[in-house]
Structure formats: structure tokens, C-alpha cells
């Protein structure tokens, strides 16, 4: 469905190029919910923009590509970086970060829905017929058709987010990319948004990619996930495996910092700060914060490789970690 091959990107600045994504290789499958986690500034949003083919200055692709392929209504499709824009709305759609600000506050929602639908999808029907289709879709999502006559400024943040999701899914795209879909929303509204996304993915049987720094969101929603650190994946696997048996030291520290029911111990955050992308350290970029770095970590970049079926880790000592964990669990 989505395949990323040797992808590297950078941002052009007055001080030179800032390299963000570095040699990414991974796949996102059909009919799955895939999560991307990591601290702020690790490249999550940049990755989503590249997946959606928003390659606008100052962002540029330095190498590699993204492939989007699949079937819709019995017809096969295939796009890659540079042509994925041709598949917007129909095959792939995007719920951007701070999506509530995407809507034009002084334009009625019905006009914004009409503008988002490709002309080829409206050519055989009147505007009233198209709006009736939209109204029925809103009702399927438990939203009022009266929303079409509303202005965005009249809606709450949670309702605007639901409208954005309705816009992104109206054409039943094969892939939906959601960037921090619950940011700046209260806990009750967050749950409603997540339930809406999960329901749509289940009904459409499409692929949902969720970017969030909130590990709780991934635990509730995703089936597979990747942990990003400083522009690359540190670990990738099923969500259950990531939470139950983390391998990379960074993943272990992320999971270890999460509160647990009945656990009254004081939680400690990850020491230090993420490296600057303008001047990253040599070798493993996590080495300066790693509790057990080796000499090799200071000069060799670890390979992102499969250590178990479907489990990928970028750590020089992944085998030792797995061996130690096995001994500990058996003792």
C-alpha cells in the first residue's frame, strides 16, 4: 500500500541544509492502523508530509521515494513521489496537525465540502445532489446535516476536528494520514475522535496512519507502530510487542516513563535532549542519552534491520538486549 524506499529529506535554510529524514525504509500495509511515535522534532510531521507528497520549499527530497499502490472499485492504481498529488482525496487524504485551523472561518462548510470534491466526481450530478450525498455521509457519522450551513467559527474545536475527518474520508480514500488528531482537545473529546477514526477505518477497510507523541493513543488505536528518533526509526513492530517487549533503549525508556495502574513509583523522564538536526552527533544519534552505550555507538550508525519476523531495530546491541531480556524473564 505505502512503501518507503531509502528516503532522505532536508529543509533549506540560510545556514545551509538541515537534514531531517535519513535513509528510511519501511512498509505500511493495506487495511491496518499504523502509528508513528516519538518526541517533538524527530521528523514525524515531515514524514507525513512526504507520504502525502507535500514537497514544497523549503522541504526537499534528497534521495529515495514513496510508493502508493492498491486497488479501488476493482481498478489498480500506482503512484510515487511527485505524482501522489494526483491521488489526493480519492486514494489518499490528510488530516493535518492543528486541523481546526485549516477550515476557512468565514466560508460555510457546504462550500468547503464542494471545493474538496474533484470535478470528475461531480460532473454527472447537480450541486444539490452532491450536497445531499455529503449530508447523508455526515448523518452516517452521527453528525447533523445542518452543519453544512454553519461557519467553522460557530463550531467547537472537537466538532471542527470531526468535520475535517469527514472531509478527509468522504471520498473513501485507501489511505488516511492523521497528524496529531487529538492535540489541544479535552480527554472526552479525544476519545470521541479516536473512536470515530477507528470506526471509519473498520467500515472503509482502509489504511489509517496516526502520528502522535502520545503513547496512550498508539496503545488504544494502532496495530503496528514505529518509534522515531532524530529522523530515523529506532524500532518498528506490532504495538503489542513494542509495549510488552521493547528492545531499543529509547523505546524502553519511553515505555518505562508511562504511568501504570497500581504503580506508585516515581517516573523519570529520558535524560538529556534530542540532538540538533543541524549538527547531529556521529554514529548512533541516541548514544549521548543511552544508559549503556558502547564504543561502536560513537562512530558507527546502527543498521535498521529485522531481528525477529516483522520486528525491526536500529541498535548495535539488539541481540544482547534480547538475550538479557530472555534470561531475566526465565529467572
Cα torsion 219, 215, 267, 313: sign: positive
> 43-68, pLDDT tens digit by residue?
999 999 999 999 999 999 999 999 99
Instruction: Answer whether 34's CB lies under 8 Å from 46's CB.
Output: no
* Contacts of 264 by beta carbon, 8 Å cutoff, 6+ apart: none
Q: Residue 209's closest CA among 53, 84, 31? A: 31
Instruction: Answer whether 68's CB lies under 8 Å from 243's CB.
Output: no
C-alpha to C-alpha distance for 255 and 250, rounded to whole angstroms: 9
DSSP state of 30: T
36 has a pLDDT exceeding 60: yes
C-alpha to C-alpha distance for 77 and 92, rounded to whole angstroms: 11
| pLDDT confidence tier of residue 328, bands split at 50, 70 and 90 | low
Res 261: pLDDT? 66
331 has a pLDDT exceeding 60: no
C-alpha to C-alpha distance for 230 and 43, rounded to whole angstroms: 7
1 has a pLDDT exceeding 90: no
> 236-248, pLDDT tens digit by residue?
999 999 999 999 9
Res 107: pLDDT? 94
Res 96: pLDDT? 87
| Residue position matching grid coordinates 486541523 | 99
- What is the set of domains in the chain, with CATH numbers? 2-222 (3.40.50.300), 227-260+271-330 (no CATH)
Q: Residue 134's closest CA among 123, 122, 120, 124? A: 122
Res 15: pLDDT? 84
| pLDDT confidence tier of residue 329, bands split at 50, 70 and 90 | low
C-alpha to C-alpha distance for 272 and 15, rounded to whole angstroms: 25
Q: Write the Ramachandran bin of 205: left for phi over 0, alpha for psi from -120 to 50, otherwise beta.
A: left
Global pTM reads: 0.92
Mean per-residue pLDDT over the chain, rounded: 91
Crossing angle, helix 127-140 and helix 109-116, to 10 degrees?
Answer: 100
Which alpha helices (DSSP H) does the chain contain, by range?
44-51, 109-116, 127-140, 157-169, 187-204, 215-221, 239-244, 249-256, 318-330
What percentage of residues in the chain have a pLDDT greater than 70?
A: 95
Amino acid at each position: 500500500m505505502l512503501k518507503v524506499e531509502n528516503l532522505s529529506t532536508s529543509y533549506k535554510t540560510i545556514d545551509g541544509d538541515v537534514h531531517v529524514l535519513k535513509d528510511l525504509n519501511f512498509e505500511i500495509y493495506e487495511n491496518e492502523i499504523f502509528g508513528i511515535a516519538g518526541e517533538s522534532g524527530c521528523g514525524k510531521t515531515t514524514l507525513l508530509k512526504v507520504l502525502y507528497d507535500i514537497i514544497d520549499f523549503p522541504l526537499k527530497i534528497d534521495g529515495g521515494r514513496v510508493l502508493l499502490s492498491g486497488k479501488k472499485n476493482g481498478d489498480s492504481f500506482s503512484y510515487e513521489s511527485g505524482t501522489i498529488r494526483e491521488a489526493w482525496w480519492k486514494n489518499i487524504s490528510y488530516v493535518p496537525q492543528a486541523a481546526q485551523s485549516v477550515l476557512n472561518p468565514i466560508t460555510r462548510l457546504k462550500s468547503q465540502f464542494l471545493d474538496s470534491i474533484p470535478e470528475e466526481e461531480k460532473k454527472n450530478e447537480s450541486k444539490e445532489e452532491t450536497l445531499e450525498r455529503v449530508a447523508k455521509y455526515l448523518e452516517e457519522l452521527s453528525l447533523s446535516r445542518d452543519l453544512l450551513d454553519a461557519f467553522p467559527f460557530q463550531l467547537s474545536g472537537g466538532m471542527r476536528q470531526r468535520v475535517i475527518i469527514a472531509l478527509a474520508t468522504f471520498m473513501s480514500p485507501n489511505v488516511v494520514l492523521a497528524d496529531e488528531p487529538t492535540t489541544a482537545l479535552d480527554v472526552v473529546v479525544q476519545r470521541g475522535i479516536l473512536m470515530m477514526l477507528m470506526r471509519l477505518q473498520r467500515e472503509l477497510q482502509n489504511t489509517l496512519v496516526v502520528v502522535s507523541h502520545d503513547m496512550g493513543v498508539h496503545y488504544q488505536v494502532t496495530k503496528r507502530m514505529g518509534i522515531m528518533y532524530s529522523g530515523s526509526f529506532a524500532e518498528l513492530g506490532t504495538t503489542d510487542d513494542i509495549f510488552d517487549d521493547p528492545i531499543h533503549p529509547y523505546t524502553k525508556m519511553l515505555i518505562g516513563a508511562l504511568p501504570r495502574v497500581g504503580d506508585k513509583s516515581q517516573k523519570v523522564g529520558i535524560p538529556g535532549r534530542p540532538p540538533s538536526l543541524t549538527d547531529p552527533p556521529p554514529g548512533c544519534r541516541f548514544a549521548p542519552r543511552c544508559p549503556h552505550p558502547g564504543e561502536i555507538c560513537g562512530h558507527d550508525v546502527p543498521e535498521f534491520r529485522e531481528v525477529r519476523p516483522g520486528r525491526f531495530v536500529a541498535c548495535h546491541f539488539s541481540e544482547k538486549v534480547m538475550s538479557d531480556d530472555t534470561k531475566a524473564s526465565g529467572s
